[in-house]
């Protein structure tokens, strides 16, 4: 049975569900920043993406360990995660491979998810350990969705918001088809020598998901007309997805990813996917991104 755990630093509070180790709430005295999963638009809130981001071609690939059969965003979001450690300002979850996970993803792994709050910032850390005796290939990512409008900007419209980057840059994003596959040979320029992008339902509906590659400074702010919003920092994540569910959905997901969905120019060999990390037996790696409401 899943359990909810709330952590706080006295100014910022986060609640996490052991089912999927999913962030369920991110709030300050001003109110709730995290989308609350209204099934009329999208029932999830901030799923953990592992061992893939996005989709495989036909939900399938081949690997050195055998066939991989994974639906969109992988398996971590589908299982109960055990609480490994807990304190007032942090909690760590653990998910280990089982016979059921190996049927879809034929590898032994341990995934630890740590959420910690300090100085008004929530950090989300992925730690992956290869507990098997063959190399472990995977990607990972976050999928936090934020209310639009955010607290303090009540009454603002979705199209009043901007994504603000640390510096001016030119961004070419891949074409995405209805199956979720990426085409990096056909791109769309969404920024030219600019540091901010107007957020519109039309843009996301047209591109399906806006997938930025190598964002300068690996940071972005979602900013509303009243100057309120959320800042994300994601060093170690080379991709950033921006998505919402439909033209009426009052939220935007801002998603730091290590890899991305299968692209047209890739084979269906799992180890050859863009951004794939490969860990030797016994090895571990960590990736952390953070969220700061303001």
- Report the alpha-carbon distance of residue 149 to residue 230 in Å, rounded: 11
pTM: 0.96
Architecture of domain 4-275: Distorted Sandwich (2.70)
- Give me the DSSP letters along 230-280: EEEE-TT--EEEEE-SSTT--EEEEEEESS-S-BTTS-SBGGGSTT-EEE-
Q: What is the pLDDT of residue 197?
A: 98
* pLDDT tens over the chain, length 294 residues: 799 999 999 999 999 999 999 999 999 999 999 999 999 999 999 999 999 999 999 999 999 999 999 999 999 999 999 999 999 999 999 999 999 999 999 999 999 999 999 999 999 999 999 999 999 999 999 999 999 999 999 999 999 999 999 999 999 999 999 999 999 999 999 999 999 999 999 999 999 999 999 999 999 999 999 999 999 999 999 999 999 999 999 999 999 999 999 999 999 999 999 999 999 999 999 999 999 999
Query: Quick check: 250 and 194 in contact, CB under 8 A?
Result: no
What are the sequence ranges of the domains in the chain?
Answer: 4-275
- Closest Cα to residue 68, out of 77, 80, 55? 55
Q: What is the pLDDT of residue 112?
A: 98
- Closest Cα to residue 8, out of 122, 167, 107, 85? 122
């Amino acid at each position: 049975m899943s359990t909810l755990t709330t952590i706080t630093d006295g100014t910022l509070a986060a609640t996490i569900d052991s089912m999927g180790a999913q962030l369920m709430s991110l709030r300050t005295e001003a109110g709730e920043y995290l989308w609350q999963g209204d099934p009329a638009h999208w029932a999830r809130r901030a799923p953990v993406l592992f061992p893939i981001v996005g989709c495989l071609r036909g939900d399938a690939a081949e690997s050195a360990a055998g066939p991989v059969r994974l639906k969109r965003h992988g398996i971590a979001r589908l299982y109960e995660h055990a609480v490994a450690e807990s304190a007032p300002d942090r909690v760590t979850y653990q998910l280990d491979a089982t016979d059921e996970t190996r049927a879809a993803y034929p590898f032994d792994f341990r995934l630890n998810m740590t959420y910690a709050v300090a100085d008004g910032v929530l950090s989300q850390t992925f730690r992956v350990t290869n507990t098997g005796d063959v190399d472990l290939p995977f990607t990972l990512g976050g999928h936090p969705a934020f209310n639009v409008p955010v607290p303090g900007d009540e009454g603002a419209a979705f199209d009043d918001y901007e994504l603000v980057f640390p510096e001016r840059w030119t961004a070419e994003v891949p074409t995405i088809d209805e199956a979720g596959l990426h085409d990096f040979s056909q791109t769309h320029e969404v920024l030219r020598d600019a540091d901010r992008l107007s957020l519109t339902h039309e843009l996301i509906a047209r591109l399906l998901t806006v997938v930025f590659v190598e964002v300068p400074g690996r940071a972005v702010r979602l900013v509303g007309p009243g100057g309120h919003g959320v800042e994300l920092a994601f060093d170690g994540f080379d991709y950033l997805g921006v998505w919402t569910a439909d033209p009426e959905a009052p939220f935007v997901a801002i998603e730091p990813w290590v890899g991305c969905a299968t692209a047209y120019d890739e084979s269906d060999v799992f180890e050859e996917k863009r951004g794939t990390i490969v860990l030797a037996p016994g090895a571990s790696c960590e990736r952390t991104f953070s969220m700061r409401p303001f």
